[in-house]
Amino acid sequence: MKRLNLAVVLAACVAALSSSSFADDRDLTKTQRNPIRLEGQIREVAESREGLTIRLHRDRYPILASSITHVRWNDGHRADVHELRVGDSIRVEGEQDGNVIRAERVTILMRIEHRP
């Protein structure tokens, strides 16, 4: 009888400690999504192997804009990522990935053109 009770108690402990069918099954090796939205004026634009690297005034991380980045003017018209210029005021929506921001959307808010 004692063995039967011990077996029942052990079985109950194992069942309680085993993972449930409702357990979190997310892959913990993948990084969690870190959405970010910021605005600023472009200080530097450079070509990189991943697309365009943009640096804003007073911002810590470089922004990577690739060919799949959606770029639009403030009025909604489409633009190309290569149309971005130093001095443009932009809004960036994307994801911070380590020490870089991967741009998903860039909106050109304002461009000041200097004419001689």
Query: The pTM is what?
Result: 0.69
Query: Residue 92 is part of a domain; what is its CATH number?
Result: 2.40.50.140
- Which domain covers residue 58, as residue numbers? 35-110
Does 89 reside within a domain?
Answer: yes
Res. 62 pLDDT band, cuts 50 70 90: very high
The predicted structure's pLDDT at residue 50: 82
Q: How many domains is the chain partitioned into structurally?
A: 1
Does 8 reside within a domain?
Answer: no
Does 73 reside within a domain?
Answer: yes
Mean pLDDT confidence for 65-78:
95
Does 92 reside within a domain?
Answer: yes
81-103 pLDDT, tens per residue? 999 999 999 999 999 999 999 99
6-49 pLDDT, tens per residue? 666 666 666 665 555 455 555 555 557 799 999 999 999 999 88
Does 78 reside within a domain?
Answer: yes
Which residues lie closer than 8 Å to 92 by C-beta, 6 or more apart?
Answer: 36, 37, 38, 39, 40, 54, 63, 101, 103, 105, 106
